[in-house]
Amino acid sequence: MTDLPILTLVVFTPLLGVLALLLIPGGNHRAIRWVALLASLVSFGFSLALVGYDPGGAEFQFAEDLPWIEAFGMRYTLGVDGLSAVLVLLTTLLSAVSIFYSWVPITTRVKEYYVALLLLMVGMLGVFVSLDLFLFYVFWEISLIPMYLVIGIWGGPRRIYATVKFVLYTLVGSLLMLVAILAVAIAHGNETGAFTFSYTALRGFAYADTLQALAFVAFFLAFAIKVPMWPLHTWLPDAHVEAPTAGSILLAGVLLKLGGYGFLRFSIPLLPDAAASFAPIIIGLAVIAILYGALVAMVQPDMKKLVAYSSVSHMGFVMLGAFVFNEQGLQGAAFTMISHGITTGALFLLVGIIYDQTHDRQIAHMGGLGARLPHYAAVFGLFTFASIGLPGLSGFVGEFLVILGAFAYNGFVAAATMLVVIASAVYMLWMFQRVFFTVPSDWMRRWWPSLRDMSRNEWIALSPLIVLVVALGVYPGPVLEMLAAPVERIIEAVDGAGLTGFGPLW
């Protein structure tokens, strides 16, 4: 380990980029784009150091710890375990991809746009590396506002409705979580005399059952809205449809993961008894989300909305895997998050490519693109199959593990989710067929002469994702190895846990 504060550098390099951007005149688009890209790439470069995470070593590595607001025991504590290391890498990569991809499509208010994206990056990365609950909350909220602006300023026609809905949903959940964080810290402080927000100190403390149950509900609301879990998902399709392409990539690729990460990092280890007792309910909701997302995706006329609903379904897998509390399930949940980030990010990017040319995403307006745009069709096909979960691509590993875990938990749950895997093949393949095969629609014929296949920039933006989606599918070993220790800890935490104070809840 070096003495360099790697995590601070990863998180705050984008902020330096913001400061640099503020000094550049707004009309100098070229400089703005380069500075933004450079900031994100430098941050990505620093994050590559996390590959050196030692799975057999200490739980939290690259740790940093400085006093912040000492009167309240709030500290600037950073550190990563295998789970957060992988997610940090995903975040820096997808951010750089989004920033690079936005070069061409974003032409208005360019400076503000990149400022927002870089601030978003700071918030998201901060969430993954914070080991102080208060610091975590601060970053959690910081990640909210830039996305609000990205959707609201550069989004589609109903952008204001969508963005306000997104913010209010998220804010209600997160503010309740703030009360829960305070309640947990105070309960711990009153008992031990040491008032702290340190994650490692608060974890493993035996909180009273009532507090656990109430705090869990508050955490659950915050994270479940972010994931989003059925029935709290209604902001997602709106937000995705209106968001600009890069916004969608980061929303699906990273922001939803904040919710999943929150469950794995905070809800379950902090409040294991409540987590164990509420698990059946959450598993039920997850199964509904998987089914519901798939069925609704099937009937969507809009490509972007279809991918958005498929996210609801995929994130249902994450929740299911997280709450069956066995090794396969949890590993699958974490792996699905990563794989979903890559595939869905890529799919949104691909939808953006056709949207930038035709300003339309209606599936009925497409058709026959396979003949006109063969490269585009090939890449789209690759990610379609990854999304379905074809063996050999990254989607398969996660879903397979989750279903294995679900089998160990309950055969019926597993059987139900198996069926959905077929449904996901239906909606994705059906969309692929209607867009790329068949005959071009009359509408599309008008655009026919002006269509172009993937540009160099689009290839550059997509190539890391293409490599990863294949590499993780063929050889998931290193990532699973990183995830092994965190998963083990979660299982230990919930082993034998359960609320006893007021009996079973149902």
Partner 1 sequence: MDYVDDLVTLFPELILAALVLVIITTDLFLPRAYKWVLTPLTVAGLILAGAACIVVWDINETVYAGFYVVDDLSVFLKGATVVIGILSTLFAPSYLAARRIPLGEFNTILVTALIGMCVLASSSDLITLFLGLELMTMPSYLLAGLHKTDRYSNEGGLKYFLLGSFASAILLFGIAWVYGLTGTTNLAEIAAALDGQMSGALLVAVGFLTVGGTFKIAAVPFHYWTPDAYQGAPTPITGFLSAGPKLGAFALLIRVFAVALEPLSADWLGIFLVLTVLTMTVGNIVALTQVNVKRMLAYSSIAHTGYIMAGLAAFAATDDEAIAAQGIESVLFYVLGYAVMNIAAFAMVGMLQRDPNRYGGLNSFAGLASRAPWRAGAMAILMLSLTGIPPTVGFFAKLYVLLAAVDAGLAWLAVVIVLNAALAAFYYLRVIVYMYMRDPEAEPATLDSSPFGSVALALSVAGVVLLGIFPGAILGFLEVSAASLF
194 binds partner 1 (CB under 8 A): no
144 binds partner 1 (CB under 8 A): yes
3 binds partner 1 (CB under 8 A): no
491 binds partner 1 (CB under 8 A): no
* Residues in Cβ contact with 146 at an 8 Å cutoff, skipping those fewer than 6 apart: 116, 117, 119, 120, 123
141 binds partner 1 (CB under 8 A): yes
216 binds partner 1 (CB under 8 A): no
Provide the minimum distance between the beta carbon of 26 and partner 1 in the complex, in angstroms, as a whole number. Answer: 7
Measured from the CB atom, is 131 or 386 closer to partner 1? 131
Alpha carbon separation from 326 to 263, 406, 489 (Å, rounded): 15, 9, 11
Phi/psi at 65 (5° precision)? -150, 115
Q: Which listed range, 69-77, 375-383, 473-481, 491-499, lies at the site for partner 1 (CB under 8 A)?
A: 69-77
Q: Which listed range, 52-60, 168-176, 271-279, 288-296, lies at the site for partner 1 (CB under 8 A)?
A: 168-176
Measured from the CB atom, is 144 or 462 closer to partner 1? 144
Instruction: Among 75, 159, 240, 265, indicate the residue that binds partner 1 (CB under 8 A).
Output: 159
Among candidate residues 365, 279, 290, the one with its CA nearest the CA of residue 324: 279
Measured from the CB atom, is 4 or 22 closer to partner 1? 22
Q: Which listed range, 12-20, 145-153, 277-285, 356-364, lies at the site for partner 1 (CB under 8 A)?
A: 145-153
Q: Which helix (H) or strand (E) holds 76?
A: strand 74-80
> The tokens 């929740």 sit on which residue?
319
Provide the minimum distance between the beta carbon of 487 and partner 1 in the complex, in angstroms, as a whole number. Answer: 31
Instruction: Among 21, 78, 167, 271, indicate the residue that binds partner 1 (CB under 8 A).
Output: 167
Question: How many residues bind to partner 1 according to rule CB under 8 A?
Answer: 34
Measured from the CB atom, is 85 or 120 closer to partner 1? 120
209 binds partner 1 (CB under 8 A): no
Provide the minimum distance between the beta carbon of 399 and partner 1 in the complex, in angstroms, as a whole number. Answer: 35
**What residues pair up with 362 in beta bridges, in sequence order?**
302
Buried b (16+ CB within 10 A) or exposed e, 324-362: bbbbbbbbbbbbbbbbbbbbbbbbbbbbbbbbeebebbe
* SS3 of 135-176: HHHHHHHHCHHHHHHHHHHHCCCCHHHHHHHHHHHHHHHHHH
Among candidate residues 490, 499, 501, the one with its CA nearest the CA of residue 267: 490
Instruction: Among 12, 63, 105, 112, indicate the residue that binds partner 1 (CB under 8 A).
Output: 112
Compute the distance between CA of residue 138 and CA of residue 182 in angstroms, rounded to an integer.
13
Measured from the CB atom, is 412 or 502 closer to partner 1? 502
Q: Which listed range, 182-190, 360-368, 459-467, 482-490, lies at the site for partner 1 (CB under 8 A)?
A: 182-190
186 binds partner 1 (CB under 8 A): yes
- Side-chain-side CA neighbours of 263 within 13 Å: the count stands at 33
Indicate the burial class of 495 (C-beta count within 10 angstroms; 0-12, 13-18, 19 or more): exposed
* Residues in Cβ contact with 374 at an 8 Å cutoff, skipping those fewer than 6 apart: 453
Measured from the CB atom, is 219 or 432 closer to partner 1? 219
15 binds partner 1 (CB under 8 A): no
Among candidate residues 7, 83, 79, the one with its CA nearest the CA of residue 48: 7
Q: If you compute the radius of gyration of the chain from its CA atoms, what whole number of angstroms results?
A: 22
Provide the minimum distance between the beta carbon of 219 and partner 1 in the complex, in angstroms, as a whole number. Answer: 14
484 binds partner 1 (CB under 8 A): no
Alpha carbon separation from 123 to 11, 95, 138, 247 (Å, rounded): 8, 12, 8, 14
Tokens of 269: 């280890």
Provide the minimum distance between the beta carbon of 425 and partner 1 in the complex, in angstroms, as a whole number. Answer: 39
Measured from the CB atom, is 184 or 402 closer to partner 1? 184
Compute the distance between CA of residue 493 and CA of residue 160 in angstroms, rounded to an integer.
42
198 DSSP 8-state letter: B
Provide the minimum distance between the beta carbon of 138 and partner 1 in the complex, in angstroms, as a whole number. Answer: 4
Instruction: Among 23, 56, 71, 157, indicate the residue that binds partner 1 (CB under 8 A).
Output: 71
Provide the minimum distance between the beta carbon of 47 and partner 1 in the complex, in angstroms, as a whole number. Answer: 23
Instruction: Among 9, 20, 145, 484, indicate the residue that binds partner 1 (CB under 8 A).
Output: 145
Compute the distance between CA of residue 503 and CA of residue 506 in angstroms, rounded to an integer.
9
Measured from the CB atom, is 138 or 484 closer to partner 1? 138
179 binds partner 1 (CB under 8 A): yes
288 binds partner 1 (CB under 8 A): no
Instruction: For the segment 290-309, give every residue that binds partner 1 (CB under 8 A).
Output: none
24 binds partner 1 (CB under 8 A): no
Structural contact between residues 467 and 392, judged by C-beta atoms closer than 8 angstroms: no
Instruction: Among 4, 66, 69, 505, indicate the residue that binds partner 1 (CB under 8 A).
Output: 69
Interface contacts to partner 1, rule CB under 8 A: 26, 68-72, 109, 112, 137-138, 141-142, 144-145, 148-149, 152-153, 159-160, 163-164, 167-168, 171-172, 175-176, 178-179, 182-183, 186, 214
